[in-house]
Structure 1
Amino acid sequence: MRCHSENGDGSCNMGYPIHHTKVKAFSLAEVMVALAILAMISSSALVVISRFAASAANSVLQMQAFEVARENMEKLLTSDSVKEMVEYGNREEYPGIMWQTVVETFYEPITARMWIRGVCSAQYKDTEGQEQTVELIHWLTDLTKEQMLQMMRQAEGEDQLADQLIETIEEAAQYAGVDIETIEQWVENGMLTAEDGSFIKRNLDLYGQNNGQPSDEDKERQVTSKAELTAQQGRPSAEKAADTGRWQDEVDPKTGLTYGELEKMDFSEIWDILKNRQR
């Protein structure tokens, strides 16, 4: 047996050899690569989480817009009657969503019939700021030719009623040929306005013809609504009964043809005329 060391007295001291080992550490390059891989994994996870959150937010906005459009469509379907119109606004509970309800007529060429359809839509901006729209369309009912002509005559009457209204006091003064102070005096003297504050030409004419001092009987002839305007613009019932068929000789302003001529046409011909007039 080999003696690794000897004592001073010559005896042998048995022992094991000591080996000095070196532990190899990570190099700087390896650490940098590991950090880069960790950063890539973390950034990918953050992107996935961000997209998931944006998708969830967009889904909530889409459901809210669908709810608004659906409720407007339900109101339309439960109405006793409908007419061509365009309404729009927003909801207090969803201020970021704008809604619009459109009732319109259109010609369906396959069956050669006229229809009324309702279009209820709701618009919102998604998380990326892009405009998104939820739209519901429902065919409400079909129209006979007589019903379509009646709607055209009704629209003409509404246009005539709208011509009777003046929105501002400046325009009312210009129409009556007086100054604004005179209009204010007429109002203080009992001249009535429409529910929305508009001035009515018939009432302005009444006060203008009487120098701002109409009698009590004349004041009772004033109107404040479209219904009263319609009643006063309408003819006596006896006269209406005598002229029942004369409406056919009246000219429709949208087509330039008489209602009698329109009554003899097909749906497709009337629709083509209306489209050409709108261009």
Structure 2
Amino acid sequence: MDHQDFAMGNWLVVLAYLTSVVGCALGLACTLQARSTDSPRARLTWLVLAAVSIGGVGIWVMHFIAMLGFSTPGLPVRYDILRTALSAVLSVVAVFCGLLVFGVRNRFAWKRLLLGGLLTGLAVAVMHYTGMWAVQIKGTIGYDPVTVVLSVVIAVVAATAALWFTVGLDKLLPRLAAGLVMGAAVTGMHYTGMAAVRLHLDPAAPDPSGTEVFSFLFPVFVLAALAMAVPICAVLMATSSSEAPRHTTLVP
């Protein structure tokens, strides 16, 4: 049986995409800082901030904004909170692993780029399908395997391209392009993954347990704001310090 992914209009797609772009662009900016520092501790700190921005905001928050448009006409949709929280943790951890491979050295290498892109793209897919595992309906949810594979390929290819753009993030256009490409990876993967969904609804089944998506949206947005505040401040401070004029001592 068909479901609706655009029940609240196309504006929701735009909002989801912009949310993903902001989170991913900020995370990629943190990745650039990680690649440009010589301190192992500072590098890990930047990569953690990048993983929170990309995995927590660019992927996880985007997913639940987009899921506001998911409905089973005339039947309730609920979410398992523990599985939802697990999807957030897996998203951040998986993104961190991908960024760790790519950003652990400041020297570019194709091998690290391809492996980092693969892991980061898989992180997008892991978050999506774990998040869908949290969805409870009157019936069961299945997937078309071909479309699932296509969604994973989209995520991996676009994530790899976004990481490649970070090599030139010292300029404005590559920064914007990286965020736009990574946002396209996340959003494109989400809606391709939703196209793979096959619902088997049973109106006679008992109502699903769990929480409505609107019930936990406010705490999600609060967490997203906090998750972005720290990286934003860190990036601004790092940029300011790097652009500060250096004083030289004149020797007579």
| TM-score normalised by structure 1 residue count | 0.20
Structure having the larger proportion of residues in helix: 2
| TM-score normalised by structure 2 residue count | 0.22
Select the structure of larger CA radius of gyration.
Answer: 1
Structure having the larger proportion of residues in strand: 1
